[in-house]
């Protein structure tokens, strides 16, 4: 078992990563001030609940916690105000009060939705994350919680830090293959922005990671969370440094939007985006290895490194321009300068980006 602390002053919290944590949740809950006298409210989704919800509830109840739970539809569509309203109704019916804690058992969708529920129910109650996807290592650090609006993703939300995060490696065993690789894409990203040694380690352990070998997984999630925690500690409210976490995301988000959410998983889209950013880095003078290693590393995880040819370049460019406000054809990009190191540039010519999008379609 590994433990790390997300260091945010008064709002600091621990992340526990290990096997079998679901069966000892009560110990950690108690240690971190989750009360037995007020009801816990557990939110999970239709994929995760049948696998892990009843064992979690049984365990907690046998340890003297009172629990109520609700299962939402799996999928991004669930991150909506309509579902939030439903959950508030169920929480009221369950008798949740200000001292209650709300627990997210699931991936990033359940985490973001449930976190916003916890942030806004009675103007804020305690929140616990039990992430069940690899990608959710990302959403369990930093306190960004949100739901979507039909016109924009994650646009309605809050910063609401959990009391603790319990990452039970056993729950990851049931993850679909594609979700595993997509989650690892974001783990690799943490290395690429911050830690060359960890990139080397990832390159040497892709097989173990894809096979969900517990020791490797534990270390990878520990490192991934640690990098994100280090960045977030410096910039809780996302005013500066935190932007480096968006490596690969400018192109990635545009691809998700143009492909229609679903064709490309988030981690897949940003894999292609990271290859694009590496190209940009090399144009700005980074060593050629930045591109070569980024691409081969992502490919070794079975992630796409080529941009699907049927996606229209004009539409991709338009989606990027819409995503952020760019002045006079200059774009903001997180650009690698070396393996494990990036800079934020706000002067990237849109023309270069267009050329790179075209090149990405021709990648082998």
Ligand X SMILES: NC(=O)c1ccc[n+]([C@@H]2O[C@H](COP(=O)([O-])OP(=O)(O)OC[C@H]3O[C@@H](n4cnc5c(N)ncnc54)[C@H](O)[C@@H]3O)[C@@H](O)[C@H]2O)c1
Output the CA torsion sign for 155, 157, 160, 164. negative
Residue 110 marked ligand-binding: yes
Q: Which of 39, 144, 223, 293 is catalytic?
A: 144
| Diameter over CA atoms, the chain | 62
Q: Report d(CA 134, CA 55) in Å as an integer.
A: 21
- How far is residue 238's CA from residue 159's CA, in Å, rounded to a whole number? 10
| Catalytic site includes residue 207 | no
Name the binder of 174 from its own copies, ligand X, none, CB < 5-8 A by kind: ligand X
CB atoms within 10 A of CB 47: 20
What count of other Cβ atoms lies within 10 Å of the Cβ of residue 127? Answer: 26
Residue 120 interacts with which of its own copies, ligand X, none, CB < 5 to 8 Å by class: its own copies
Active site residue 36: no
Partner whose footprint covers residue 48, from its own copies, ligand X, none (CB < 5 to 8 Å by kind): ligand X
Q: Is 112 annotated as a binding residue?
A: yes
Of 39, 144, 189, 228, the one binding its own copies by CB under 8 A: 144
CA distance 205 to 203: 6
Binding mask 172-211 for ligand X (x = CB under 6 A): x-xx---x--------------------------------
Among 155, 148, 130, 154, which residue's Cα sits nearest to residue 83?
148
- Told to judge if 238 belongs to the known catalytic residues of this protein, a careful annotator would answer yes
Q: Among 39, 137, 223, 266, which one carries the catalytic annotation? A: 266
Query: Could you tell me how far CA 49 lies from the centroid of its own chain?
Result: 20
Residue 122 binds which one of ligand X, its own copies, none, with CB within 5 to 8 A depending on kind? Answer: its own copies
* Contact predicate 252/270, CB 8 Å: yes
Distances from the Cα of 137 to the Cα of 2, 162, 248, angstroms: 14, 13, 17
The single residue among 57, 112, 195, 268 that binds ligand X, judged by CB under 6 A, is 112
Establish if 129 lies at the interface with ligand X (CB under 6 A): no
CB nearer to ligand X: give 57 or 138: 138
Secondary structure letter of residue 296 according to DSSP: H
* 10 touches its own copies (CB under 8 A): no
Q: Please give the size of the binding site for its own copies, defined by CB under 8 A.
A: 28
Whole-angstrom Cα distance, residue 238 to residue 127?
Answer: 21
Report the partner that residue 317 touches, choosing among ligand X, its own copies, none (CB closer than 5 to 8 A by kind): none
Q: Out of 13, 65, 121, 167, name the contact with its own copies by CB under 8 A.
A: 121
Name the residue among 201, 244, 196, 236 with its Cα closest to residue 221. Answer: 201
Q: Does 78 bind its own copies (CB under 8 A)?
A: no
Q: How far is Cα 48 from Cα 53, in angstroms, rounded to an integer?
A: 7
Distances (CA, A) of 75 to 3, 37, 149, 307: 29, 33, 15, 24
Answer yes or no: is 111 a known binding residue.
yes
Q: Is 168 in the site for ligand X (CB under 6 A)?
A: no
Q: What angle do CA 234, 239, 243 make, to 5 degrees?
A: 80
- Interface of this chain with ligand X, residues 1 to 60, rule: CB under 6 A: 45, 47-48, 51
* Alpha helices (runs of H) in 155-195, residue ranges in sequence order: 177-194
Please report whether residue 79 would count as binding ligand X according to CB under 6 A. Answer: yes
d(CA 189, CA 303): 13
**Residue 242 bears catalytic tag:** yes
Residue 89 binds which one of its own copies, ligand X, none, with CB within 5 to 8 A depending on kind?
its own copies
User: Closest distance between its own copies and the C-beta of residue 137, in Å?
Assistant: 20
Task: Could you list the residues known to form a binding site for Zn(2+), using ranges.
Answer: 186, 249, 266
Binding site for ligand X (CB under 6 A): 45, 47-48, 51, 74-76, 79, 106-110, 112, 132-133, 135-136, 138-139, 142, 144, 154, 171-172, 174-175, 179, 266
Binding site for its own copies (CB under 8 A): 81-82, 84-85, 88-89, 92-93, 97, 119-124, 144, 146, 149-152, 155-159, 238, 325
Catalytic residue numbers, as ranges: 123, 144, 186, 228, 238, 242, 246, 249, 253, 266
């Amino acid at each position: 078992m590994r433990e790390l602390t997300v260091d945010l002053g008064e709002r600091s919290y621990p992340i526990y990563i290990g096997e079998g944590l679901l069966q000892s949740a009560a110990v950690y809950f108690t240690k971190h001030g989750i009360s037995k006298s007020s009801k816990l409210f557990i939110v999970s989704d239709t994929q995760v609940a049948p696998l892990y919800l009843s064992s979690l509830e049984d365990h907690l109840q046998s340890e003297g916690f009172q629990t109520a739970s609700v299962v939402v539809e799996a999928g991004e569509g669930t991150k909506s105000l309509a579902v939030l309203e439903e959950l508030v109704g169920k929480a009221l019916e369950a008798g949740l009060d200000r001292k209650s804690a709300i627990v997210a058992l699931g991936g990033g969708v359940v985490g973001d939705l449930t976190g916003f529920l916890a942030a806004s129910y009675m103007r804020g109650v305690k929140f616990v994350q039990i992430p069940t996807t690899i990608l959710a290592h990302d959403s369990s650090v930093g306190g960004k919680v949100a739901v979507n609006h039909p016109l924009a993703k994650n646009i309605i939300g809050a910063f609401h830090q959990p009391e603790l995060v319990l990452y039970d490696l056993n729950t990851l065993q049931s993850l679909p293959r594609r979700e595993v690789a997509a989650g690892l894409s974001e783990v690799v990203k943490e290395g690429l922005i911050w830690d060359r040694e960890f990139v080397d380690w990832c390159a040497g352990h892709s097989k173990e990671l894809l096979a969900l070998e517990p020791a490797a997984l534990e270390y990878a999630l520990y490192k991934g969370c640690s990098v994100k925690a280090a960045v977030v500690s410096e910039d809780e409210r996302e005013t500066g440094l935190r932007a480096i976490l968006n490596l690969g995301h400018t192109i990635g988000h545009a691809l998700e939007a143009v492909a229609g959410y679903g064709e490309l998983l988030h981690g897949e889209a940003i894999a292609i985006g990271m290859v694009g950013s590496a190209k940009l880095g090399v144009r700005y003078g980074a060593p050629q290895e930045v591109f070569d290693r980024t691409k081969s590393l992502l490919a070794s995880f079975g992630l796409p490194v080529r941009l699907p040819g049927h996606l229209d370049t004009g539409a991709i460019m338009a989606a990027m321009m819409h995503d952020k406000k760019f002045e006079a054809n200059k774009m903001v990009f997180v650009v690698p300068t070396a393996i494990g190191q990036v800079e934020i540039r706000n002067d990237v010519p849109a023309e270069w980006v267009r050329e790179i999008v075209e090149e990405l379609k021709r990648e082998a």
